[in-house]
Every structure is written in structure tokens, then in C-alpha cells.
Chains A and B, each alone.
Chain A
């Protein structure tokens, strides 16, 4: 079992992204780095905010790790995508999509206007990235 939001889970995600032909195809010309933040909302037993750094480069994940005081995110990360834990679970279940999640204020994206334009041109890649999270097996959601 890998616990959602743990370093092990992050490394499983990296594997799934790099194994995904669909993601590789959808994101072949795309590059950018993210911080994905999960905010506790009373769902399950998650009590601490967790953030993951993820560097995406032309259909591959070059690097990803759990952000900790000892290993902070690099400076000037292009995107911060944040949402409550319950909403992340709905995203993984396919009940909301990455774009619809933003529209419904279930997720918040922070980036420049230029970066938002770049993200809006890569919606299929975003969809495939979310699919990669659902491919991780034996996940324990706290």
C-alpha cells in the first residue's frame, strides 16, 4: 500500500506518467512545473496540508517530490494548483474534470496570464495527467 500524498505515492505517480503513452502524446510539446497542494477539509483523517512539486517536460515527468521543510520547491514554480482533499478524491474518481474543477472553484490555479494561456492549450494533457493518478494501485487514502 502507498499512502496518498506520501513520497512513495509521488514516485509511483512519476512512474505512471512516464509509462503513459497517452500523456506522452498529449503533452509532447508542453513544458511547465507545478505545485499540487492538498488542503485538509475534514474528509478522512488527513490533517496536514501537503504539496507536491512536479516538473513536466515534453510528455515526461523529469522530477517530482513531496515538498518538505528539508526539500522545498524551487523558486518561481510556474503553476500552483490547489484544492481541498475531498475535491482531489472526486477528481481521481472522475466525478469532476481538471477544467470543470477550476470552473466550480473546487480547485484554484495560480499562474501568470501567459502561463494560463499555455495551460488552456494543453487540456488533453491535463486530462491524461489526472488519469495517471488513477492508475496507481493499492493506494491508501487517509
Chain B
């Protein structure tokens, strides 16, 4: 038995935000970050004011949110008791909102209410809180608007650790995809979040948990991302905003999230989660390189699946192996074309920091669920070799 879980509604396209003014919310709890509050909150506020909804804003979400920040938000939720939580921002904001909700519903469990979530328990979040969740992504990458998994940083130990958890009750009731919200994205974020979405498509498609439903979404998402990301990046360099291109990216990021959220991530995300927390590297900065390493590591195990992705991207080759290899080469080129780093050194990790942390980093990577669902089994020594190559950006030769 397997599940495919989706939001009840996906509202997309130009003016999608106006959907909110058709609803009858009494009190909206808006989870956001300071930048988004300044840039685009007025667009959301306009819609909520049109229906006389009271608004409480929690705008303290940092780039890499912690379980501790989420706990603070959950306490405020319990005080104000809204009838809708609106997560307005990127993955950090949406993951935080998804963490706050079960903490509000189960205050007695504290942080364990989310990190120890039984993936199949009926959390009864809607019944317990009288509230629903709406996600409004403002970047095109995370896919968190449609997934049931959440990643937060646990700051309670010496080496910070990304904690992932999930329950299908956390899937939003509604996700709203309005491309206007991406108009101010700087080119670096277009590249980084775009590669996050690409990594979801790759991971979800190569995962041992892949299935017919996720495959359909992920292949098309990969095609849209591969074709539109370089274009959006080039346009952003000149200040141009082509909403058709932005909409394709925005939709593809959600499709990618929808796909991998009903499949799994692989080694690339296991590495990305770990180095993000241990070396303080933003997920959008490192995930592209991590994905490239996952393609190299898995190419002999799932060359046919990698060749499927190459075909979707329009990459040719005379054999399956050649197509897979050509995709790996093109992947590195695209990373470089959009100015994303390949090595840990380029990401700012010093040799001293690397040597100090690497043992714990490997331990955490091995225990990330992405390592378990990777198509090629991975052990401690494999990670020693992967991380060693990744430190200086070398290709894998094993």
C-alpha cells in the first residue's frame, strides 16, 4: 500500500492571490520572514483586508529555521487561535509553518511533537485547531508548498543537524502559485532555488521509492526546469522579468515537490541537509552541487533512469550510458553557467572546519532518510570518498 497525497486545491497563474478575497477567513496567522514582509506582504494584506480578516504576523523566520524558532511561533498560534495559517515565503517559511501547527495542537509534546511524528498517525490538526493551512511560495524551488515533509535545524547539539519529519496531515489545504511574487527574486536565488527544484526532480525520480504517479510529475517538472531556468537567470541579469518563464518555473517547482513528496529524496539531499547545517551553507547554494554528486555516484546503478531525465531535457546520446553521462556533463555546465559552486571550498568551507566536522557530518548524512532511499547503497567509506572529492570539486571515479 502506498499513498499519493495532494493539497485540496492548487490555485495558479496570474492574479492567483485574489483567490483569498473569495474566502471567509476571520483571523489569518501569517508566517513570513522580514524580507518578504517588506517586499510583498502588502499584496497579501490587500486580499485579507478585503474580507475584513484580522491578521497576526509572525515574521521571525530566518534563512535556516530552527526547531526552537518554530516552538516560539507555535506558542503565539496557541494564544491567537486563527482559523487560517498562511505561510508566505520560501521553503524556510513554509517548513516552519508546517512545524508550528502540530506543536500548537500538541503542546504537551514540545519539540517532539514534530520530530517524533508518526508518519501515519491521524493528527487531527484541523479538528483540534479549527484551522487550515495555505501555502503561498515566493520562490520557485522548495516544493514545500505541497509536501508533507519538513526540514528544520536542531540547535540543541554542538554540530547543528537538520531534522526532517513528516505526516500527511501537514500537506496544505491550498497552495497558491502567483508568479508575480517571484518578480523581485535576485538571479542568485533564481539559480539556487531552481536547482533545488531540479534536485527534487532528480532525487524523486531516482529514489527507490519512486512510483508511477511521482514519475509522471517529476519528468515533466525536470523538463520545464531544465529549459526555463537558464532563461530566467539570463533575463534576471538584465533586469527583465518574463512572467511566462517565471510561471513555468513556479509551476515546475511545485510539481517537483509534489513528485518527490510522494516518492523520496536521495543522497544529494542527504548531503545537502547535512552540510547546510554543519557548515552553515544555504540550501540553495549547495544543493545543485550535491545533486551533481548524486548523479555521478548513482550513474552505474540507475543509468536508465538518468537517461530518462536526459531525454526529458532533450540531451542526446547513442546509448543509455552515454545519455546518462552527457546529462552529468551538462549538469555541471549549467551549474557553472548560473554561477553556483561545485566544491565545498567554493562554498566557503575551510580545510580546518572540514577536518573538525567531517566525522560527525558523515554520521548525520548516513542517518538522513535520503541515504536510505538512494538507489545505490552508500556506507561510511563511500561518504568519506564523496566528501573528499566534493571538498575540492573533483569528479567521482568509483
B380/A25 in contact, CB under 8 A = yes
B367/A113 in contact, CB under 8 A = no
A29 CB to nearest chain B CB (Å) = 8
A113/B112 in contact, CB under 8 A = yes
A100/B118 in contact, CB under 8 A = no
A2 in the interface (beta carbon within 8 A): no
B291 CB to nearest chain A CB (Å) = 21
Give chain B interface residues in 95-126, CB to chain A under 8 Å.
Answer: 106, 109, 112-113, 115-120
Stretch from B24-32, B225-233, B368-376 contacting the other chain? B368-376
Considering the complex, give the chain B residue whose CB is closest to the CB of A119: B116
Give chain A interface residues in 98-122, CB to chain B under 8 Å.
Answer: 99-100, 102-105, 109, 112-118, 120-122
When distances are taken between beta carbons in the complex, the residues of chain B under 8 Å from A117 are: 112, 115-116, 163, 165
From A109, A116, A121, give the contact of B367 (CB < 8 A): A121
Bound complex: CA A123 to CA B371 (Å): 9
B2/A124 in contact, CB under 8 A = no
A105/B120 in contact, CB under 8 A = yes
Bound complex: CA A124 to CA B371 (Å): 8
A113/B109 in contact, CB under 8 A = yes
Q: How many interface contacts (CB-CB < 8 Å) are there between A and B?
A: 71
A20 in the interface (beta carbon within 8 A): no
In terms of DSSP, what is the predominant structure of the interface of chain A? helix
From A116, A122, A124, give the contact of B118 (CB < 8 A): A116
B119/A113 in contact, CB under 8 A = no
A100/B367 in contact, CB under 8 A = no
A26 CB to nearest chain B CB (Å) = 7
When distances are taken between beta carbons in the complex, the residues of chain A under 8 Å from B109 are: 113-114
Considering the complex, give the chain B residue whose CB is closest to the CB of A30: B367
Q: Which of B's residues lie within 8 Å of A, judged by CB?
A: 1-2, 106, 109, 112-113, 115-120, 161, 163-165, 208-209, 366-369, 371-373, 379-380
Q: A99-B372, A113-B118, A124-B371 are in contact. List 14 more A-B contacts (CB 8 A).
A: A26-B380, A97-B208, A100-B209, A105-B1, A109-B118, A113-B109, A113-B112, A113-B117, A117-B115, A117-B116, A121-B161, A122-B367, A123-B368, A124-B367
